[in-house]
Amino acid sequence: MSKSHPVSQDLIVWFSKAQRDLPWRKTNDPYAIWLCEIMMQQTRIETGTRYWHAFLTRWPKVELLAAADESEVLKAWQGLGYYSRARNLLKAARVVVAEHRGVFPSTAEALRKLPGVGPYTAAAISSICFDEPVPAVDGNVIRVVSRIFDVSEPVDAPAGRKAIDHAATALMPDMGCGDHNQAMMELGAVICKPKNPLCQACPVRVHCAGFAAGSHFDRPVKGKRITVKAVEMPMVVLTDGHHVALVQRPQPGIWAGLWTFPLAEDVPEGLGKPNGQAAPPFTHILTHRRLQLSFALRRWEGPSEGGEGAEWRWLTWEEAAEQALPRAMEKIWSDARKSAAKLYI
């Protein structure tokens, strides 16, 4: 006889009627679900959906993705950010093909062995695709559980996280596990929001200890604060108007494997004639870094094959745009190219 917690029962009834119409909810293909879960990390749904469709159109099977070049995948990923996800995506696809004959493992434990697949992603795939009763605990679910069970310990400390995991496991049914996990995530996304939760519309409000105690606005409790480091990155747009110098960022590090303009410290003095700024300086925020970016314009007047360091590429602007660029370069690309063109008007 199947078991189901009252919270799960009410939640699934609500989810069956109120869930958003998202394309990946129409499939239980592990490849499609895996792509979705990796892409939606730190990404708005509207943006992630476009990339999800694009990847499935270009690489409809894991075998095709596994055969792709890393540069192709990085370029297709361009704009999603957190590029380590794209590199791990390719690595995982190759493991699935080489070690599992193109068939995704069916348990969270086995899925966690794939590059880039953590506990949450593994549980989401195994529950949605294979109905494994494992809770998928992401930030939304942590918030929902901390309020329902009124967890007072910091959720970013071992004791608090243990309490969250224990409570999330207690809520799991032994059937319909994928619907339950998706309903928990949906509740956190549209009802149990970080600020101004819509408690009057919550389908499990009667079960919520935090709401009953009036402490729900203070949940989840967090202890640690992420230290964000400021990093100055002055860059040089070295160009002859038609060509520009790009450098591939080293691994590991910021934007590893992607292409950017070279850092000023790597451009020898006297190489190119200074011509002001190629684009306005701006601040770009990463998870643990606040990048202060500036773009000095230098006019290259040597031979067309010149202006190239040991790790540089001297490319036409069209060729340069085809490389995998970080979002920060995309932001100013048009301005930088217009500035280069003006040198020869």
Residues 178-235 pLDDT 10s: 999 999 999 999 999 999 999 999 999 999 999 999 999 999 999 877 778 899 999 9
Q: What are the residue boundaries of the structural domains of the chain, listed by start?
A: 6-218, 229-342
Does 306 have pLDDT greater than 60?
A: no
pLDDT classification of 342: cutoffs 50, 70, 90: confident
Q: What is the pLDDT of residues 127-181, one digit of tens each?
A: 999 999 999 999 999 999 999 999 999 999 999 999 999 999 999 999 999 999 9
CA distances from 116 to 181, 201, 276 (A): 20, 36, 42
pLDDT classification of 102: cutoffs 50, 70, 90: very high
**At 81, is the secondary structure helix, strand, or coil?**
coil
- Say how far apart CA 104 and CA 92 lie, in whole Å: 10
Rg (CA), the chain: 24
Does the model's pTM come out above 0.75? yes
What is the pLDDT at residue 1? 38
What is the pLDDT at residue 84? 87
Task: Note if 37 is an active site residue.
Answer: yes
Does 119 have pLDDT greater than 50?
A: yes
Q: What angle do CA 173, 176, 181 make, to 5 degrees?
A: 75
Question: What is the total residue count of the chain?
Answer: 345
| Token digits of residue 204 | 């499990």
| Token digits of residue 264 | 């000023």
Q: Which comes out higher in pLDDT, residue 4 or 212?
A: 212
Q: Which element (helix H / strand E) includes 329?
A: helix 327-342
Please name the residues in contact with 197: beta carbons below 8 A apart, sequence gap of 6 or more: 147, 191, 216, 217
pLDDT classification of 2: cutoffs 50, 70, 90: low
What is the pLDDT at residue 304? 52
| Token digits of residue 229 | 């480091």
Q: What is the greatest pairwise CA distance in the chain?
A: 80
**At 47, is the secondary structure helix, strand, or coil?**
helix
What is the pLDDT at residue 228? 83
Fold of 6-218: Endonuclease III; domain 1 (1.10.340)
Does 112 have pLDDT greater than 70?
A: yes
How does strand 289-299 pair with strand 229-239? parallel
Q: What is the pLDDT of residues 44-65, one digit of tens each?
A: 899 999 999 999 999 999 999 9
What is the pLDDT at residue 36? 96
What is the pLDDT at residue 303? 56
In this structure, what DSSP letter does residue 175 have?
A: S
**At 340, is the secondary structure helix, strand, or coil?**
helix
Does 308 have pLDDT greater than 60?
A: no
- Say how far apart CA 335 and CA 188 lie, in whole Å: 40
CATH code assigned to 229-342: 3.90.79.10
3-state secondary structure 279-304: EEEEEEECCCEEEEEEEEEEECCCCC
Q: Active site residue: 37, 72, 232, 319, which one?
A: 37
What is the pLDDT at residue 309? 52
Indicate the average pLDDT of the chain. 91
Q: What is the average pLDDT across 260-266?
A: 92
Domains 6-218 and 229-342 share a fold: no
